Structure 1
Amino acid sequence: MGIHGRTSIRGSPELPHPDAHHFFEYGPAPKQVPVAAEVPEMVRAGTPEPELKRWSEEGRQTVIDIADMLGVPPITYSRDPLSLIPALQNYVSRLPLDQFDQSDWATLHSDLMSYVSDFLIQKYGARWTVVDDSTTTRGYHYVIETEDRDGKNRKIDPADVVMAELKNLPIEITRMLASAELTLLLTSQASEEG
């Protein structure tokens, strides 16, 4: 259940990320910030559309619930996903991370992943898609896809972005979002540098 009986940032039982076995090994954090990996171009054609739609809707509802819990009205958040940054930063800065157990880390990871992905969807018109992944039991996983500044298709796994942030404490929400933007080459700085 986790510390203080918390099962989720939004107060309801948390369902684990479908690829949970990939990233729930927390130990001493390395001091370097790992770069979020770009996902291979193998899009899985046979994934049922309702599952992808449900995944997307659940992630969106998660972040709306988080915003509401932290005092950011859902309408405000829906108009501007950046409106959540101050409240979310305040929240994560006060978390007793040294007391977290595996369940707490998994829940925090899932909640932050929902925010990163929804931010990219709202700000850049990104979308969830499915890619083949032989390292998962299902043989695929969900990633965010969007066009970079040069019109090229890019994919990123928001789980990797959040994991990089969790391994580089303290958690900085703006750094986490910037990492996703830079990896997807959505900012002029990343595009100009190469």
Structure 2
Amino acid sequence: MDHPNPDVDEWAAELRDFAERIVVSLGGDPQWLSTNPDWAVGLVDRGIAEDWDPTAMDEGDRHRFRSLLMAVTGEFLINTHGARWAWLLDDTSPLGGRWVVTGFTHPLGQRTRPVDVGRIADDALALHRVQVIDLVDTAERESGMRATA
């Protein structure tokens, strides 16, 4: 099966730009994503708490909201843990792969695992419990950056 090999740098730049536009639209500084990622996440979570209504979403809204969650969660992980976006080949995916955040810098030098942020976002959406901080928490545990409880 011949699968596309996307341009990771281009895709990551588009997602970063999207995350910055989200923060700006909520009244924040786009630099917070790199200088104060926890502020950016808090701002986005307050915006979600005020405006998110899963019953009013059509498929397009759901896709955009999933992209928002991926963008902000990914930027937090990248800027906090020195990680990066990557395309992981996966024959079980209809696209032949999936976007993951990988390359976490563990403070103790331990190995970390790639994290499928899209799947984490989908899981949260299915449960109607959506906060970026919860997605970050899940991603950090799955990556091996933090011990599981």
Give the TM-score taking structure 2 as reference length: 0.85
- The letter for the 2-side match of 1:113 is M
Q: Structure 2: give runs of 5+ residues left out of the alignment.
A: none
Per-residue deviation at 1:53? Answer: 0.8
Superposed, 1:81-120 pairs within 5 Å as: 81-93=37-49, 94-120=51-77
Q: How many angstroms apart in 1 are the aligned matches of 2:79 and 2:42?
A: 18
Superposed, 1:120-135 pairs within 5 Å as: 120-135=77-92
Q: How many angstroms apart in 1 are the aligned matches of 2:34 and 2:59?
A: 31
Aligned to 1:69: 25
Higher helix share: 2
Per-residue deviation at 1:173? Answer: 2.5
Q: Alignment partner of 2:110: what SS?
A: coil
How big is the alpha-carbon RMSD for the aligned residues of Structure 1 and Structure 2? 2.2
1:176 to 110, 116, 135: 135
Q: How many angstroms apart in 2 are the aligned matches of 1:116 and 1:76?
A: 13
Aligned to 1:140: 97
How many correspondences in the alignment? 144
Aligned to 1:52: 8
Q: How many angstroms apart in 2 are the aligned matches of 1:133 and 1:84?
A: 31
Task: Report the structure number with the largest CA radius of gyration.
Answer: 1
Q: How many angstroms apart in 2 are the aligned matches of 1:141 and 1:95?
A: 26
Contact 2:91 2:97 (8 Å CA) reproduced: yes
Per-residue deviation at 1:137? Answer: 4.5
- The letter for the 2-side match of 1:185 is G
Per-residue deviation at 1:153? Answer: 3.6
Give the TM-score taking structure 1 as reference length: 0.66
- The letter for the 2-side match of 1:57 is A
Q: How many angstroms apart in 2 are the aligned matches of 1:171 and 1:122?
A: 21
For residues 38-78 of structure 1, what are the alpha-carbon distances to aligned partners after superposition, in whole Å with 9 as ceiling and x for unaligned? xxxxxx9x946xx1110111111111111111111112332
For residues 133-178 of structure 1, what are the alpha-carbon distances to aligned partners after superposition, in whole Å with 9 as ceiling and x for unaligned? 2234542232111245552141111101111211222322221210
- The letter for the 2-side match of 1:127 is R
Q: Alignment partner of 2:128: what SS?
A: coil
Per-residue deviation at 1:82? Answer: 0.9
Q: Structure 1: give runs of 5+ residues left out of the alignment.
A: 1-43
Larger RCO: Structure 1 or Structure 2 (Cα < 8 Å, ≥ 6 residues apart)?
A: 1
